[in-house]
Structure 1
Amino acid sequence: MSLQKLARELDETARQTAAMVEGISDALEMLSSKSVDGDSARIQAIQMIVTALQGQDRIEQRCHNMALAVRQFDLLPLTATEDVYDEIWSNLTLDELRVPSLSGIAAHSAHGDAELF
């Protein structure tokens, strides 16, 4: 079961990575569009790129957490129960991008200076 959960988390992380790259691609399209004023295109593209970069930060956190779980699984004896594996998963933060209040928050708030950290 734990490997199935890991596979689901990896699939979700891959999906989120693709969405992040799509945001950057959309920003590039905005910049190359002749139908949008140059200044307006730059402002919109900057907001789109900042949002994508914030997503990358969260994806990186997910990857570190999954790696930590696998390292902890590796230390368990072969006789470890499913409850022990579940406890390891429960101590990790893996759903930060699926929480509506966090996911894409930058896209819904006003920006002053880019906050990348």
Structure 2
Amino acid sequence: MKIQGKMFMWLSVFLLVMACVYGVWSKEPAGTTALFLAFGLSIMIGFYLGFTARRVDAGAQDDKEADVADEAGEVGFFSPHSWQPLALAVGGALAFMGIAIGWWLLYFSLPMLLIGLWGWVFEYYRGESRTQ
């Protein structure tokens, strides 16, 4: 993760320089604001990756002598048959359509978003296990 953190930090420096140059040269507020926001997002991701890299073991991508096979194995657990992302997608699509069509559509999208989010977060929660 260390190398990804450094890449995002260098990207944030580049975005900051480009935002300043673009802002002075074009005097256009929308693009300048977008570049400054991209700088902020990039520095947040870089800081997080660098912060996390200090607390976890070094990965194969941090070793210059590593092979591709060194990173082989299980990556993590991904839910195989979850319907919750579909509920979130429908709720999000309705919410964005509500901005374009009318704000009343948000009344239908908000419950869908909340149900999808709640279901996805607690999909594998089966209650507290009390072992004594």
The interval holding the TM-score normalised by the smaller chain is 0.3 to 0.5
TM-score by length of 2: 0.39
Give the number of the structure with larger relative contact order, counting CA–CA contacts within 8 Å between residues 6 or more apart: 1
